[in-house]
Every structure is written in structure tokens, then in C-alpha cells.
Amino acid sequence: MRTEVEPFHAIAISRLAHDLKAQGRSIIHMEFGQPSTGAPQGAIARAHEVLDTDGMGYWESTALKARLVRHYQDSYGVEVTPEQFILTCGASPALVLALSTSFSPGDRVALARPGYVAYRNTLRALNLEPVEIPCDRSTRFQLTAAALAALEPAPAGVIVASPANPTGTIIGAAELRAIEQVCRERRIRIISDEIYHGLSYGERAHSMLEFGKSALVVNSFSKYFSMVGWRLGWLLVPPHHIARARAYMGNMFLTAPSLSQHAGLVALDSHPELQKHVAMYARNRELLLAALPALGLADIAPPDGAFYIYADVRRFTDNSLRFCEAILRNTGVATAPGIDFDPVEGRHFMRFSFAVATKEVEDAIARLRPYLSTYKG
């Protein structure tokens, strides 16, 4: 069976942005969800030390897994064991691992629409059927227990993301508890993507494991820990799933990068430095929320966490890809079209990533103001 997946349109936007930069244009990259800050200084120092003293090889850090156990106890009050952690080459392989070890070809897996483009496409690549649940402002662009309860027949699984990409919305504790209960009653396997945990601007994000022990949790060092290029993540699995997940991991990916594991252990104790990044994102969020309505982008999903603004652009266009391309060519501000995240309604939306320097956010607003005030389509 051969399945085609759709392109990630933000990559095409980024490619154009880099072409324009090579031509001498000034570009502000707000198209990808990657921190502009680097890894914590202590993690970098530890990496230098390891490079000088350790030849490295295929390896799984028992110290890192033990430290992750404490992280879950401290952050969520959840007790897990080191054996439940499968260290991966970032969150993307963790998602592949979760899906491939939990479902069989043809299984139906529910997810929110809008949602991260790779959910839909990874499901298809694995010959699973995405069951997209349309979400809008009435549900804060998030899945609800009621929506899952109404699906007939019940899907084999569901992907839950809180905070979510592209909206940044967070599912509250009561709703997560209700989702877990519905899934338990209907035998729906939960894959919880918690990659944006640590990045919230009000109520903290809750782990699905606070409400039940059967979910598979995907996370990584890329977002809060600002270690995108280090390609280090983890899949946290229930005890009965350990042997299966480890067998798949060993055959498909071998091990996570050894150097990154050394650095990640240090990063887990770098919160004072990392909280400064969160403070910068919070300031960037404030600037955009204050400025965008005056630019004609007033209908915005509530960005409770992550580092995204998902804005309705139908005042200007019904083609968000063309709109983002025009903005990039005319202002040098690179953004992501909503069609990546929602193939139905995404043509009416665009996403800004504010994981850039505050000066760049201010510059982007200054560039967009005159252009959007006279935009003719």
C-alpha cells in the first residue's frame, strides 16, 4: 500500500525567505516554531567537555532517564520509572514510535483540526486514517471530551496537544480529565504531545498522566529547552508497552545522539536561564496581541502557551498561502499559511511564531503596518 503525504508549505515559505536573504534582503523568520535562543550555556559547556574526552557511540543515558523521572515528579506530581522513557532523536521519531507501536494499518486516529501538519501526514505515511475533528473559537480550537464521545465508531486512538500548534491554546485540567475518562471508557489510546510544556502565560499545562496512566507522552528538548538542532526527545510509555517500544526504537532509530544526552542532562537543571527565554516570549506575545488588531488581524486564537499567534486573515484574502508569500516578498516577514494546519478552513488563517528576538517582533510590526494598511490582494 502506497500513501502520499502533503507538503509542508511553511518549508516552501522558508526556502523563499532564504533565497531572498541570499539576494541581500532583510528577513525576519517567523515561519517556524523554533527558538531563536541557543541551548543553555551549561549544556553547551558540557558538550565541549564530552567532545574532548569521550569517543561516544550507541548509548542510552541512565542518568538522563533518572533525571526525567524527577522532572515528572516535580512538574506534575506523577510517578514513573526510568524504564518507561524511550530516548529518541527528537519528538518526530517519538511520534512515529508512539503511532507505529500502538496501531495497525487502517486504524482510525482522531485529532484536532487545526493541528500540527505532521500529525495528519505521519498518520497517512503509516497507513493510518486521520479522523480530523473541526475545532473553532467555540472550543478554543481544541478537542473536547464531548467531541470524542460523539465519534461513531470510536477511533482506535487520539492525538492530544496542549499547548497546541498552531494556536497555542491549552486544555484545562477538568477537560483533560474528561477526555481521559471518555478514552478509557471507549478504549481509545491517547497519544499526548506535550512538547510545548514549560511555555505558558497563565495556567500551567497539565500532563495527561496526571489523569490516567495509559497515555503515551511525546516530548523533547527542542522548545522550552531551546535545543532544536540537538535532536533529543523522549516517548514515555506505560509499563506494559516498554518492551514493544524499545524493540521498535532499536530497529528503527538505534539510539538518541550521545552528545545530546549529555547536554540534555545539564539542560534539565538550567531553569533560571530558560525562564528568561519564556519572559522574552511573553513580551513578544504582548507586543503582537497589542499590534495585530490595529493591522486588521483582530480575530486571534487564544495563545495560552507555546509561541504562536494564529490569526484570521479573511479580511484580506481567502488564500493564506498566497497572502504569506506576498507579505514575505513585500516586507521580508516570513510566516506560515494556515493551510498547513487545516486543509479545510486554513485558507482563512496564518500563523506567526514569536520565538524570535523582541527587536525582530518590533521590526516585523513596523514592516507590516504600512503594507497591510494598503493591501489590495
Q: Cα–Cα distances in Å, from 96 out to 74, 92, 193, 212? A: 28, 6, 12, 22
Q: Cα–Cα distances in Å, from 300 out to 3, 150, 168, 288? A: 34, 27, 11, 10
Cα 241 → chain centroid? 24
Per-residue model confidence as pLDDT tens digits over 296-335: 999 998 899 999 999 999 999 999 999 999 999 999 999 9
The residue with cell 535562543 is 37
Pairing between β-strand 336-337 and β-strand 157-161 as defined by DSSP bridges: unpaired
pLDDT confidence of residue 56 = 87
CA atoms within 13 A on the CB side of 112: 29
Distance, CA of 265 to CA of 28 (rounded, Å): 32
Using CB atoms within 10 Å of the CB of residue 320, give its burial: 0 to 12 exposed, 13 to 18 middle, 19+ buried: buried
Tell me which H or E stretch contains 196. none
Using CB atoms within 10 Å of the CB of residue 137, give its burial: 0 to 12 exposed, 13 to 18 middle, 19+ buried: exposed
In this structure, whether the domain defined by 9-39+271-371 belongs to CATH 3.40.50.970 is answered with no
CA atoms within 13 A on the CB side of 93: 22
List residues bridging with 108 in a β-sheet: 129
Q: Which of 342, 307, 293, 346 is nearest to 323 (CA)?
A: 346
**pLDDT of the chain, 377 residues: tens digit per residue:** 556 777 788 999 999 999 999 999 999 999 999 999 999 999 999 999 999 998 889 999 999 999 999 999 999 999 999 999 999 999 999 999 999 999 999 999 999 999 999 999 999 999 999 999 999 999 999 999 999 999 999 999 999 999 999 999 999 999 999 999 999 999 999 999 999 999 999 989 999 999 999 999 999 999 999 999 999 999 999 999 999 999 999 999 999 999 999 999 999 999 999 999 999 999 999 999 999 999 999 999 889 999 999 999 999 999 999 999 999 999 999 999 999 999 999 999 999 999 999 999 999 999 999 999 998 77
Q: Is 87 helix (H, G, I), strand (E, B) or coil?
A: strand
Are 223 and 116 a contacting pair, CB within 8 Å?
no
The string over 179-196, giving b where at least 16 C-beta atoms fall within 10 Å of a residue's C-beta and e elsewhere, is bbebbeeeebbbbbbbbb
What residue segments make up the domains of the chain, in order of their start?
Answer: 9-39+271-371, 56-267
Are 129 and 152 a contacting pair, CB within 8 Å?
no
The residue with cell 518590533 is 362
Same fold, 9-39+271-371 and 56-267: yes
How is domain 56-267 classified at the CATH fold level? Aspartate Aminotransferase; domain 2 (3.40.640)
The residue with cell 506535550 is 194
Distance, CA of 193 to CA of 375 (rounded, Å): 37
Are 323 and 317 a contacting pair, CB within 8 Å?
yes
| Count of C-beta atoms within a 10 Å radius of residue 19 | 11
Residue 309 has which C-alpha cell?
A: 499567534
The residue with cell 479545510 is 344
Query: Looking at residue 103, what DSSP letter applies?
Result: -
Q: Which of 55, 7, 60 is nearest to 249 (CA)?
A: 60
Backbone angles phi, psi at 351, to 5 degrees: -125, 130
pLDDT confidence of residue 2 = 59
* 184 contact partners, CB below 8 Å, separation of at least 6: 212, 214
Are 127 and 105 a contacting pair, CB within 8 Å?
yes
Backbone angles phi, psi at 85, to 5 degrees: -95, 125
Residues, the chain, total? 377
The residue with cell 540534555 is 264
